[in-house]
Amino acid sequence: MSFLNFDREDYFKETDCLISLIKNNPNDNFHEVFTNSIIIDLVINLEIFIERTLECYINQLQILNIKSSILHENIRKEHLKKLFSDALSFSQHEHKIDKFNISIQDISKFMTDQNLDQIHIDLKLGIGKHGEKELSNLFKRIGFHEIYKIILIPNKSESMLEEITYLDIEDFIQTLTSKRNIAIHQGVSLHTIFSIEKLENLSNNL
């Protein structure tokens, strides 16, 4: 997506540092100590990146200042749902009357199909919500169904002559999240599952 100013270092700097630490100290127990932290960090930063990607997409739609009728029906539904939710919340507090009035005006703009310079939509994962299904539902909110069939990420190859294969993104996220859950909820060390090479491959795919 051309509107993204994505610098991988902004998201995975800590992970890369831990992996380098493990590689450079093979005789110490850093691999055992830090593997769980690496997996948890990868999941957290992957989710943050996806949330910010979707926010950038919505920001671009806002810049276009288009009519509500042109938006995908899922965006229209989520936008209107957020407006009504905010209006209801603001109406219960006298000191928020100005915000309530703004919400009503935004609802009116939507219903009369005026140009929208603000699109109100919740693009955050809920607390305790993780995994490939939750991320897929996040994309559905802005109209992208079956996102794992739309996005193709080629596996890294050492030779240009090799046949191009693609990362199974859904399985990749499911595996990463399930291992993250084991690390957090069961306290099991994942160093026997993820070799240093596997940790590097995981990080490089992001």
pLDDT confidence of residue 142: 94
**Burial category of 16 from C-beta neighbours within 10 Å (exposed 0-12, middle 13-18, buried 19 and up):** middle
pLDDT in tens, 71-90: 999 999 999 999 999 999 99
pLDDT (0 to 100) of residue 5:
59
Share of residues in the chain with pLDDT > 90 (%): 57
- Please check the confidence at residue 160 and state whether its pLDDT lies above 90: no
What's the length of the chain? 206
pLDDT at 2: 47
Mean predicted lDDT score pLDDT of the chain: 88
Residue-wise pLDDT for 43-73, tens only, equals 998 898 889 889 999 999 999 998 999 999 9
- Residue 3 predicted with pLDDT over 60: no
In this prediction, residues 10-29 reach a mean pLDDT of 86
Residue pLDDT, tens place only, 190-201: 999 999 999 988
CA-based max dimension of the chain: 68
* Cβ pair 119, 75 in contact under 8 A: yes
147 CB-near residues (< 8 Å, 6+ apart) = 135, 136, 139, 140
Cβ contacts of 141 within 8 Å, gap of 6 or more: 54, 74, 75, 78, 121, 122, 123
Calpha distance 107→45 (Å, rounded): 34
